[in-house]
Amino acid sequence: MAKIKVVHYINQFYGGIGGEEKADYKPEVVEGAKGPGMAFKAAFKDEAEIVATIICGDSYFNENMEEAKEAILDMIKQYEPDLFIAGPAFNAGRYGVAAGAITQIVQDELGIPALTGMYEENPGADMYKKHVYMAATKNSAAGMKDAIAIMAPLALKLARGEEIGSPEEEGYLERGIRKNFFTEKRGSERAVDMLVKKLNDEEFETEYPMPSFDRVEPNPPIKDMANATIAIVTSGGIVPKGNPDHIESSSASKYGKYDIEGLDDLTEETHETAHGGHDPVYANIDPDRVIPVDVLRDMEKEGKIGKLHRYFYSTVGNGTAVANAKRFAEEISKELVADGVDAVILTST
C-alpha cells in the first residue's frame, strides 16, 4: 500500500531560517521533513511521508497574503499530496493566522484534506477554527510532543477519509458544527438530570455551552474635567518614525510607550502607523487622525482639560491575541494609575 504523501507548512523559526529578523522571508519549498516535521515523520511511521516542507516568514505571509497564497499553492501542486499540515503554531499569533489561512485555502481550492494546530487563544483559532480542523495545543512549543500526538492520528484519519469523532474524542477545537444522533434518553429527561445535579452541587456537563463575555463596569464620570489628566492609549499602531520598538503589523506581541512632552502636533516627519490590514496612507499623513494630540493640546490651552499625559501607549489590534491584549491592558493601566491619570481616550483605526 502506497504511503500517504504529506506537504508540511512551517514558519521561518521552525524552518531554521531565523527569528523575528527573518519574519519577512518569502515562501520556499524544500524536499522532505524539517523542524517539527521530523516528529510527524516518527509519529506517522510507515503510513505517511512528508514529501516537502514549505517555509514562509510570518510577517511576509500576513503582509502579502495574496502573493504568498498563490506562491504556496503552486508549490503544493507540484507534489500532488494526499494531505496538508500546517504548524503547530501554539500561541504565535501571526504564525497561527498564516497556518489557518493556508490550511483553509488548500482544503477549499485544492480539495486536499488539511489540518493545523494551535492554542485556543491564538487569533488564528478565532478566525479559522469553524472552517478547518484545528488540533488544540498548549500555548508554547513545550507542548510539541502532545501536539504531535493529537495531530498525527487525526491527520491520518482525514487522509483516509475516515469518520472524524467529536472534539473531545479527537482533540480538535470545537467548530460550532452540530450533528443529530439518537440517544437513550430524550432531551427533557437529560435536562432534568442536569438540573438535579446542579441543585445538588454535583458535576455535570452541559450539552449547549454558552459563550462567556467579559463585563466591565464603567467608572463614574469625571466631575472636574478642567483639572483632569487625560492619557491616550491606542490599538491604531501610532509610533515614532521608524517604529523603534518593532511592534508587529499584525498579531502584536508588544506595545510601546512614547513621550509627547512639548509636542502640539504629530506629523508624517515624526510619527507613523505600524498597523497592517488597512491602507495606512491617511494615518501616516496625519497621525493625529488616530490619536488626537493636536485637539487635546487645544483643549489643554483652553482649560477644558487639566493636562494631556506626558506619554501615550500604542500597539496594533490587527489579529492580536486576547491574552496579549489583556496583558497589555493590565500593565498599562497600572502605570496610568500610578501616574495619577484620571481618564483615558482609547482609539483604534
Give pLDDT, residue 1: 65
Inter-residue contact 73 to 110 (CB < 8 Å): yes
How far CA 258 is from CA of 243, 276, 309, 328, 338, in Å, comes to 11, 20, 11, 15, 17
Alpha-helical segments (H) within the chain: 37-44, 58-63, 65-79, 93-105, 123-128, 144-160, 167-170, 187-199, 281-285, 293-301, 322-338
Q: Closest by alpha carbon to 265, among 299, 292, 305, 237? A: 292
Residues 6+ apart with CB under 8 A from 55: 10, 11, 12, 14, 15, 17, 25, 27, 28, 29, 30, 34
Q: Closest by alpha carbon to 87, among 78, 76, 96? A: 96
Q: Closest by alpha carbon to 136, among 147, 122, 144, 127? A: 147
- The DSSP call for residue 82 is S
Residues 6+ apart with CB under 8 A from 218: none
Residue at grid coordinates 510619527: 271
Give pLDDT, residue 5: 95
Give pLDDT, residue 175: 82
Which set of grid coordinates corresponds to residue 331? 500593565
Say how many C-beta atoms besides its own lie within 10 A of residue 225's C-beta: 15
Residue 92: Cβ-neighbour burial (10 angstroms; 0-12, 13-18, 19+): buried
Q: At what angle do helices 37-44 and 144-160 cross, to 10 degrees?
A: 60
Q: Closest by alpha carbon to 287, among 253, 258, 324? A: 258
CATH architecture of the domain with residue range 4-170: 3-Layer(aba) Sandwich (3.40)
Q: In which residue ranges of the chain is pLDDT below 70?
A: 1, 177
Q: Closest by alpha carbon to 100, among 143, 131, 72, 121? A: 131
Q: Closest by alpha carbon to 292, among 231, 214, 226? A: 231
Residue at grid coordinates 439518537: 182
Q: Closest by alpha carbon to 236, among 253, 255, 218, 220? A: 255
Q: At what angle do helices 65-79 and 93-105 cross, to 10 degrees?
A: 50
Give pLDDT, residue 166: 84
Residue intervals of the chain classified under CATH 3.40.50.2300 are: 4-170
Q: Closest by alpha carbon to 261, among 282, 231, 238? A: 231
Residue at grid coordinates 504531535: 148
